[in-house]
Amino acid sequence: MLRVALIQQTAARDFAPNLAFLEAQIKDAAAEGARLILAPENCAMLEPDRDAHRAKALTEEDHPLPPLFSQLAQETGAFLLAGSLAVQVAGGKLANRSLLFAPDGRIAARYDKIHLFDVDLANGESYRESALIAPGDTAVTVETPVARLGLSVCYDLRFAGLFRALAQAGADILTIPSAFTVPTGDAHWHILLRARAIETGCFVLAPAQTGIHAEGRRTYGHSLIVNPWGEIIADAGTEPGLVLADLDLAEVAYARQRIPALTHDRPFTLPPSFSR
């Protein structure tokens, strides 16, 4: 059995309080026996003002989170996922980057969020992630002694083809750290996460931001752990803190044996009427 822990967080707009919260939660999770501990999207800083976000962002080499997570991984002997942090990249934009730290402190994998959230919501909220973030272009799986992980971030959740590719590349666990809005979370969060688990036969681990952040931004919470049959085995609700579960990775093979859809792809063509 693999014990996993998700950190649910109400991230502040500056590094210090967020890193202090994450450190305490990681140590508590490790004390509970967790060997894979995941933080949500924007775990180091949730700055809603675009100009301030750009001004505060650092390169990965200068960012305060990687050395802290490296040290904590070595202290706890756990794999740690920094769900995402904004890092400066070439061209004047930022990457929304997920980092996996191994128990020896090294960065075992990096994933830059591919799909960017540009949307106007019915309640008047507007988001233009592409104005600040440069999209990634590479899907990432990483083999670890505990499982093969397939990495993603938040809005990626809506693109089923990415997760099918990760599962067909051998992923047993999909990581989906997020900061979902309340309207979209209430409508789609549980459904989409269960769907990704069912479609792929993977465990889904989705640590989330929750509550009210700077400038009144609200996030949905409900960090979820979903098994390969699509059953929710842990839901963190809306308060910050930890949610833990024990995963039997044999369930991955069992689910895929019962519904072997990952092996049933067939080529097809689209008629001209489908063109846009």
Q: Catalytic residue among 47, 113, 129, 202, which? A: 113
Residue 178, C-beta contacts closer than 8 angstroms, at least 6 positions apart: 40, 41, 83, 153, 154, 157, 189, 206, 207, 208, 209
Residue 90 CA to residue 130 CA, distance in Å, equals 15
60 given a catalytic annotation: no
Domain ranges in the chain?
2-261
Residue 276's pLDDT band, with cuts at 50, 70 and 90, is low
Q: Is 167:201 a contact under the CB 8 Å cutoff?
A: yes
Could you please state the CATH topology (level 3) that the domain comprising 2-261 is classified under: Nitrilase/N-carbamoyl-D-aminoacid amidohydrolase (3.60.110)
- Encode pLDDT of 36-74 as tens digits: 999 999 999 999 998 899 999 999 999 999 999 999 999
Tokens 């952040």 belong to which residue? 213
- Given the residues 43, 47, 129, 154, select the one marked as catalytic: 154
pLDDT at position 179 over 90: yes
Q: 113 an active-site residue? A: yes
Task: Give yes or no: 215 in active site.
Answer: no
The DSSP letter of residue 129 is G
Question: 111, 152 in Cβ contact below 8 A?
Answer: yes
Split at pLDDT 50, 70, 90, the class of 273 is confident
